[in-house]
């Protein structure tokens, strides 16, 4: 292996490690966020579910906005990195281009969630 390709391999390994760390950190965030989200749902549907009640909780509330932005970001990235690993092992889809594509898919998924959170806030 030449020095250049050895350096490239080390850089690739470092980027793959970053993706792995991102997935573990988002998993920790999701463990808490999913519990909060479920408890909130159970609380919200007691005595009937209405749009007015939900909007009353979320509209103008920066804390819920921040919570759901973080939640959506974590879910989008976590899911995309997980799908990346499955694709690599089952169909051999690997490489930097594939990684960038998965990152884009993860961020796009997160943007949908963030858009919904902003919709409930504004």
| Binding region for another protein (CB under 8 A) | 10, 12-18, 20-21, 24-25, 88-90, 94
Smallest distance, another protein to C-beta of residue 94, A: 7
Nearer to another protein by Cβ, of 7 and 56: the residue is: 7
d(CA 99, CA 75) in angstroms, rounded, equals: 17
Least distance between another protein and beta carbon 18 (Å): 7
CB atoms within 10 A of CB 69: 16
81 token code pair: 């990195």
The answer to whether 106 and 79 are in contact (CB under 8 A) is yes
Neighbours of 77 (CB within 10 A): 24
Which sign does the torsion angle of CA 10, 16, 20, 23 carry?
positive
Identity of the residue, 15 or 61, whose beta carbon is nearer to another protein in the bound complex: 15
Q: Which C-beta is closer to another protein: that of 63 or that of 97?
A: 97
The distance of closest approach from Cβ of residue 16 to another protein in the complex, given in angstroms and rounded to an integer, is 4
Q: CB nearer to another protein: give 20 or 112.
A: 20
């Amino acid at each position: 292996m030449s020095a250049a390709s050895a350096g490239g391999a080390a850089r690739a390994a470092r980027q793959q490690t970053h993706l792995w760390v991102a997935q573990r950190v988002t998993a920790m965030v999701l463990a808490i966020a999913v519990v909060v989200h479920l408890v909130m749902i159970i609380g919200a549907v007691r005595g009937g579910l209405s749009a007015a009640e939900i909007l009353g909780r979320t509209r103008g509330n920066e804390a819920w906005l921040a919570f759901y932005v973080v939640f959506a970001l974590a879910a989008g990235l976590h899911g995309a990195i997980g799908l990346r690993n499955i694709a690599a092992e089952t169909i051999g889809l690997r490489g930097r281009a594939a990684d960038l594509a998965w990152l884009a898919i993860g961020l796009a998924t997160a943007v949908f969630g963030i858009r919904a959170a902003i919709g409930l806030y504004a």
